[in-house]
Amino acid sequence: MYSGMSQESNRGEKMRNTYKIYLIGVGGQGTVKASTIVGEAAMKKGLNVVMSEVHGMAQRGGTVVTELKFGEVHSPLIEEGAADLLIAFEPTEALRSLNKINRESLVIVNSAPIVPFTVSLGISEYPELSLVFEELKAKIKNLVVIDAQKVAKEAGNIISENMVLLGAAVATPNFPVDKELIIQSMKENLPPQSVEVNLRAFERGFEEVEN
Amino acid sequence: MKVGEILTGKEGGKLFLLGNEAAVRGALEGGVSVVSTYPGTPSSEIGNVFYKIAQKAGVYFEFSSNEKVALEVSVAAAAAGLRSFVFMKHVGLNVAADSFVSTVYTGVCGGMIVLSADDPSMYSSQNEQDNRIMARLAGIPMLEPSNPQEVKDLMKYGFDLSEQFQIPILMRTTTRISHMRGIVKLGPVIRGKKKGFFEKNPSQFIVIPAYVVKMRKELIKKLIKIEQIANISPLNTTIDQGGSKLGIITGGGAFNYVMDVVTANDWKVKILKVTLSYPFPEKLVLNFIKSVDSILLAEEVEPVMEKEILAIIGKHNLNKRVYGKLDGTLPRIYEYNPDILFNGMAKVLNKVLPKKEWVFTKLPLPTRPAVLCPGCPHRATYFALKSAIKKLKLKEEEIIYSTDIGCYALGLEPPYKMGDYCISMGSSIGIGCGFSKATNQKVISFIGDSTFFHAGIPGLINAIHNKDKILLVVMDNRITGMTGGQPNPGVPVDGMGNPAPEVSIEEIARGVGAGLVKTIDPFNLKETEKVFKEALQFEGVEVIITKQPCAMITDAENRRKGISVKYIINQEECTKCMICVKNFTCPAIYVAKDGSININPLLCDGCGVCTQVCPKKAIEVKK
Give the Cα-Cα-Cα angle B104, B274, B261 (nearest 5 degrees).
Answer: 145
Taking the alpha carbons at both ends of chain A, their separation in whole angstroms is 32
- CA-CA distance, A47 to A41, in Å (whole number)? 9
Final residue of a structural domain among B329, B348, B367 = B348
Per-residue pLDDT band at A7 (split at 50, 70, 90): very low
Q: Is the pLDDT of residue B362 over 70?
A: yes
Distance from CA of B527 to the nearest CA of A (A): 27
Our count of domains for chain B comes to: 4
Q: What sign for the dihedral angle of Cα B159, A52, B253, B234? A: positive
Same-domain check for residues B550 and B430: yes
Q: Is the pLDDT of residue B367 over 50?
A: yes
Return the domain boundaries, chain A: 6-210
Taking the alpha carbons at both ends of chain B, their separation in whole angstroms is 38
Q: pLDDT per residue over B539-596, tens digit each?
A: 999 999 999 999 999 988 998 899 899 999 999 999 999 999 999 999 999 998 899 9
Q: B274 in helix, strand or coil?
A: coil
CATH classification of the domain holding B75: 3.40.50.970
Find out whether B52 and B77 touch, Cβ atoms under 8 Å.
no
What is the reported pLDDT for A195? 96
Alpha-carbon B169 to chain mean position: 19
CATH classification of the domain holding B299: 3.40.50.920
Per-residue pLDDT band at A57 (split at 50, 70, 90): low
What is the reported pLDDT for A58? 52
Of A43-57, B148-162, B411-425, minimum mean pLDDT range: A43-57
**Taking CB atoms and an 8 Å cutoff, what residues of chain A touch B358?**
3-4, 80-81, 98-102
Same-domain check for residues B309 and B441: no
Same-domain check for residues B132 and B214: yes
**φ and ψ at residue B127, rounded to 5 degrees:** -155, 175
Question: Over the Cα atoms of chain B, what is R_g?
Answer: 27
Same-domain check for residues B88 and B199: yes
Q: Is the pLDDT of residue B3 over 80?
A: yes
| Contact criterion met (CB < 8 Å) for B339 and A40 | no
Q: Order the strands of the B169-174 sheet from edge to edge.
A: B60-63, B34-37, B84-89, B112-118, B169-174, B142-143, B276-278
B369 in any annotated domain: no
Count the residues in chain A.
211
| Contact criterion met (CB < 8 Å) for B364 and A127 | yes
Same-domain check for residues B546 and B421: yes
Q: Is the pLDDT of residue B428 over 70?
A: yes
Nearest CA in chain A to B405: A57
pLDDT (mean) for A83-99: 97
What is the reported pLDDT for B263? 93
What is the reported pLDDT for B271? 98
Nearest to A70 by CA among A181, A210, A206: A181
Final residue of a structural domain among B232, B249, B272 = B232
- CA-CA distance, B445 to B388, in Å (whole number)? 16
- Answer whether B381 touches A (CB < 8 Å): no
| Contact criterion met (CB < 8 Å) for A52 and B355 | no
B34 in any annotated domain: yes
**Taking CB atoms and an 8 Å cutoff, what residues of chain A touch B42?**
55-56
Mean pLDDT of all residues in chain B? 96
Q: B442 in helix, strand or coil?
A: strand
Nearest to B205 by CA among B166, B250, B158, B177: B166
| CATH class assigned to A6-210 | alpha beta
Same-domain check for residues B212 and B148: yes
What is the reported pLDDT for A13? 33
- Answer whether B255 touches A (CB < 8 Å): yes
| Contact criterion met (CB < 8 Å) for A60 and B261 | no
Final residue of a structural domain among B169, B199, B232 = B232
Per-residue pLDDT band at B607 (split at 50, 70, 90): very high
Burial (CB count <10 Å: 0-12, 13-18, 19+), residue B592: exposed
The total of other beta-carbon atoms located within 10 Å of residue B130's CB is 19
Which residue of A1, A102, A159 is in closest CB contact with B358? A102
- CA-CA distance, A164 to A186, in Å (whole number)? 12
Per-residue pLDDT band at A5 (split at 50, 70, 90): very low
Of A25-29, B322-326, B454-458, minimum mean pLDDT range: A25-29
pLDDT (mean) for B446-465: 98
Distance from CA of B516 to the nearest CA of A (A): 33
Distance from CA of B311 to the nearest CA of A (A): 30
Please indicate whether residue A158 or residue A168 has the higher confidence score (pLDDT). Answer: A168
Amino acid at B47: G
What is the reported pLDDT for B238? 97
Alpha helix ranges (H) inside B166-281:
175-178, 202-205, 209-232, 252-265
| Contact criterion met (CB < 8 Å) for A74 and B147 | yes
| Contact criterion met (CB < 8 Å) for B369 and A118 | yes
Distance from CA of B480 to the nearest CA of A (A): 12
**Taking CB atoms and an 8 Å cutoff, what residues of chain B touch A80?**
339, 356, 358
Which range of residues forms the domain containing residue B66?
5-232
Find out whether A84 and A103 touch, Cβ atoms under 8 Å.
no
Same-domain check for residues B398 and B252: no
Same-domain check for residues B50 and B68: yes
Same-domain check for residues B79 and B40: yes
Give the Cα-Cα-Cα angle B121, B138, B455 (nearest 5 degrees).
Answer: 65
Exposure string of A118-156, with b = 16+ CB inside 10 Å and e = fewer, is bbbbeebebbeeeebbebbeebbeebbbbebbbbbbebe
Alpha helix ranges (H) inside B302-456:
304-315, 338-348, 377-391, 427-438, 449-451
